[in-house]
A and B are shown apart, each in its own frame.
Chain A
């Protein structure tokens, strides 16, 4: 592909609600809260928005899921869905429209209202013939942990300890984030001893199921400084969809996510990054389960294959490490309102790049990477967004 999004589109304002079990808020109100913060941040009103995209998996239908609550006046609005990457997908729609020169200012929103279902987890996703094996998302990712442990000779104890450190780190980070769903410090023992959800994953290996919304206002790079002196620029926006062959042929090892690896290569190329482990200042990745974060560190080439355990033990991804991951708590603790998560990740990178992250501020970040992954490890759509100054 000849084209690149790098430095053609700027983020001039962002907003994000608190994530959590927001019993007293409906989807429309979540959208209004996130977008209002973004309007104020960018210093614009709804009249400045020329076109909008909105990502949601379960909670809306059509462009009206955005234009209705915001009362947007007869502008083009598109609802997009790309599983857990729906938030990034809405940003991609807005960014590509701007890069194509079709509009100057566009709005991207992601939201999800999951806690109206009366139960835990996500609404059902069965196949047409209802012959799908009886497993939940935790079960499908647990199988990746089973194979990771088996391939690298980790005992269940050693493997679960490695994963527990990931969750402990994210809980520690979220303690400093007032918008996070779970703000409670955990010990490795608590994570290890938690009830099993899908062997070998326990309760604290799983992310939160939350309500929330996040929004970004994007503008042409050459006019961004009219709105703010310090816009953040999009460096890469890549999507990689799986042919899902991994469930049918033995080529797939089930200890990594091929789409994340390939999506990472494409994003690094678009952003001009040669050594991601050194050049990326921070990352928000799709830690739907602890094992997902572990293999993602390898897929994105932050750690060598099979070596993430050493990096985790060395504290490489802690706030004090060389490459902080999940500074806002991640899906694990900030929560995971599916359609909102992609933009929530960029929201954190944006705050960090602007030096507005308060007590969890990372020192002088230059480039941040957000990684989203929807569906099972052998069948995902992965989206990667890199932003920087």
Chain B
């Protein structure tokens, strides 16, 4: 039995009230709000977040692959899945791949994971999807988009939703695109794109998998497929195929509270559907984009045993709604800003980040065998690695000790107005880890007024710096809110 063993989702904490677009540009505002990745988030960090939620109570060391899907990868040349595998503490003898350029790449990655496992090349594969696409200022696209991600552990053990059938359609219609040098999303006339693309291809894929499976429309508890730019078409297509409204995983509340998350949209809807399914439920899934990928899944008894996780619906309610459109322009690097009158940040030393990759991306520290002190060194002048114990000075007598996933408590903090960050002040905290050890971290997703000595925080994977095309990732902490 091959299928989904676990699932997770992620939506950034920051939500922008769409009335702010109207305020900035005039015209029309779509009702509701959209999620906005913070300045230190991108598709990789969001996919890591979704994966951490997905892998709660699972051993990442036992997973045989990582497929990352996005249309907004930080690199044109350089794999992101390899970075994520380190951050998630996965093994190195695994299959990693990035699936990209199509809005259905997340769905494709799931089908590919299914095939890989069925072929016996792997026992389980983590599929992580996230997107952070940018609409040009003043257009409707910047209002309708949102940022977020989802993740699924696909495998053949304790499957909570068995994948029964898959079906794919390829279709070369240039509906939306970004060329080699485009920052912003482009799109062809909506009417043509809807008529000839979405409204034709989705039914072809769904009818195709129905025919292949011999199943009937009414067999499905949930029908999950993503909406197009014009969200009304979603319901229209469903009606035309012959589904009842009660069967549909409704995209409207996601659209109103998060926005369209590109390649992550259909996978996020699937994770939302799995939250509320019961054993025996059948799910029809389809992801659209230059064709479509469809799946039929059947929920198993194992879903009742899957521990509660940070679901999409929880993420929808854990948020900070803000009313500052300009910050979106800042965080996505859309407008040039006056440089802080501070020294320029140093160039990334790739050799140093590579050398310390296990410490920096994997959050590995050590525990002294003599005195038992756990310790983490996030990089002072000359270290890591830790070779001499900070407590008892024993040398080279340690066990590896991973700090990833540990909760911590703020023991001191400051809000620094001088440090050049995109959303000042720079909040920095000294934290005490549960189980011992302390370290300084940047504090992100925070409201300065909520921070006290004793505030509980958790670790979150973030982007620190973009330099000459290189992205530097590391961990920060944020107030624990779930």
Contact = CB atoms under 8 A, between A and B. Distances in A.
Given A124-B344, A254-B430, A131 B415 contact: no
B187 interface: no
A139 interface: yes
Interface residues of B, number: 52
Contact of B346 (A121, A124, A196, A247): A124
A229 B446 CA distance: 64
A245 B391 contact: yes
B112 interface: no
Contact of B360 (A129, A134, A140, A197): A129
Contact of B343 (A123, A131, A134): A123
Contacts of B341: 118-120
A123 B168 CA distance: 57
B418 A139 contact: yes
A135 interface: yes
Contacts, number: 156
B418 A128 contact: no
Interface string A216-244: 00000000000000000000000000011
Nearest to A131: B474
A119 B416 CA distance: 16
B438 A119 contact: no
B378 A131 contact: yes
Interface in B56-109: none
Contacts of A138: 416, 418
Contact of A126 (B345, B373, B413, B440): B345
Residue in A133, A195, A245, A249 with the greatest tally of chain B CB atoms within 10 Å: A133
A275 interface: no
The size class of the interface chain A forms with chain B is 35 or more
B418 A198 contact: yes
A251 interface: yes
B425 interface: yes
B277 interface: no
Contacts of A127: 379-381
Contacts of B481: none
A130 B416 CA distance: 18
B465 interface: yes
B306 interface: no
Contacts of B432: 250
B442 interface: yes
Contacts of B344: 124
Contact of B417 (A122, A132, A197): A197
B462 to A, nearest CB: 10
A248 B426 CA distance: 21
B86 to A, nearest CB: 14
B340 to A, nearest CB: 8
Contacts of B441: 133
Indicate the member of B381, B437, B439, B472 with the most A CB atoms within 10 Å: B381
Interface in B411-442: 411-421, 425-426, 428, 430, 432, 436-442
Given A129-B356, A248-B390, A249-B375, A119 B412 contact: no
A129 B349 contact: yes
A133 B444 CA distance: 11
Contacts of B465: 130
Given A130-B349, A130-B472, A150-B453, A121 B418 contact: yes
Interface string B345-369: 1101100110010001000000000
A129 B390 contact: no
A119 B412 CA distance: 28
B359 to A, nearest CB: 9
B380 A247 contact: yes
Given A128-B379, A248-B439, A134 B391 contact: no
Interface in A284-332: none
Interface in A252-304: 254
Nearest to B432: A250
B417 A198 contact: yes
Interface string B439-451: 1111000001000
B211 interface: no
Contacts of A152: none
A197 B418 contact: yes
B74 to A, nearest CB: 16
B373 A249 contact: yes
Which of B340, B417, B439, B441 has the most A CB atoms < 10 Å from its CB? B417
A248 B391 CA distance: 9
B342 A119 contact: yes
A22 interface: no
A130 B346 CA distance: 7
B416 A250 contact: no
Given A124-B344, A131-B474, A143 B412 contact: yes
A70 interface: no
Contacts of A128: 349, 352, 356, 379
A143 B453 CA distance: 10
Given A121-B418, A147-B411, A247-B438, A198 B425 contact: yes
Given A123-B343, A129-B356, A134-B416, A199 B453 contact: no
Given A136-B419, A245-B391, A143 B379 contact: no
Contacts of B352: 128-130
A132 B353 CA distance: 12
B87 to A, nearest CB: 13
A379 interface: yes
Contacts of B419: 134-136, 139, 198
B441 to A, nearest CB: 6
B302 interface: no
A128 B439 CA distance: 17
A146 interface: yes
Contacts of B412: 143-144, 146-147, 150, 254
Contacts of B438: 247-250
Given A120-B418, A198-B416, A247 B430 contact: yes
Given A117-B343, A199-B425, A250-B432, A133 B381 contact: no
A387 B247 CA distance: 87
Interface in A188-214: 195-201
Contacts of A123: 343
B263 to A, nearest CB: 29
A127 B382 CA distance: 8
Nearest to B357: A129
A250 B343 CA distance: 32
A134 B416 CA distance: 8
Contact of A131 (B379, B391, B437): B379
A244 B378 CA distance: 13
Contacts of B379: 127-129, 131-132
A127 B442 CA distance: 14
Contacts of B343: 117, 119, 121-124
B442 A133 contact: yes
Contacts of A118: 341
A146 B442 contact: no
A142 interface: yes
B214 to A, nearest CB: 55
Given A129-B356, A129-B379, A138-B416, 5 more contacts: A121-B343, A146-B412, A248-B390, A248-B437, A254-B411
5 contacts: A130-B346, A131-B353, A196-B415, A200-B414, A250-B438
In the complex, the 3 A-B pairs of residues with the closest C-beta atoms, listed nearest first: A139-B416, A119-B341, A245-B390
